[in-house]
Structures are given as structure tokens and as C-alpha cells.
Amino acid sequence: MATPAPAFPTLDLEKAKAALAEAIAAFEIPEHKERMETAIASCDPTNPMAKMQTLIPIVQEIQGTVMAKYGFEGPGAVMAATMQINMFAPQDPEIANGVRMLAAKLSGN
């Protein structure tokens, strides 16, 4: 029998903004910043796919710590939180900009 997928909380606009702001700020923590820079430096600059494959687990781990504060834990938690936050992007420019910033982290920018 398959294990049911975990139920994640539903973010409202204010919680989505707060979670997004914390997730972005987490990348400025010196140890996280250094970890990202080291990973980026280790990648072949001519292979953006390899860079993304290297960065995705790091980005998810950094975001996962933040998203756990909002009740998003376990497999698929970061993706579920990110999707909920992204749903507010069309109606909220602050969230749209933040989502772009997080997406840039996946490509090493």
C-alpha cells in the first residue's frame, strides 16, 4: 500500500510574502552564500544544465529550512511551498520579483 502524500498547509498572501522574504534572505547568510559560490565555481561554465543539477539540492536545502517554519516538511515540501508562493505572483509584484530572484539562484545568478 502506497504512503499518502503529506498534506501541506495553505499559505495566504501575507504568509507567502513572509516565507519568500525569509527564503531570499537565507541566501545572504554567509555560510549559504559561500556554499553557493563554491558550488558555482566548481561547475563548468559552458554547461548550464550541470550547474543547475549541482545547485538544485543546495537551493532546496536552504529553502527547506525556511519553509519548515511554515509547515512545509518532508518530500515535495519545497516544491509545494514554491508553487503556492508562485500562485500569488500574477497579482503581487513583490512576490513576482521575489520568485524571479529565487529562480535566478537555480541558475547561479
Residues 51/62, Cβ–Cβ less than 8 Å: no
Q: Which three cell numbers stand for residue 99?
A: 520568485
CA dist., res. 36 & res. 7, Å (int): 30
CA dist., res. 29 & res. 65, Å (int): 13
Residue 8's pLDDT band, with cuts at 50, 70 and 90, is very high
pLDDT digits (tens, 9 = 90+) for 14-46: 999 999 999 999 999 999 999 999 999 998 888
CA dist., res. 75 & res. 89, Å (int): 24
* Domain edges within the chain: 13-106
For the entire predicted model, the pTM comes to 0.85
pLDDT digits (tens, 9 = 90+) for 71-82: 999 989 999 999
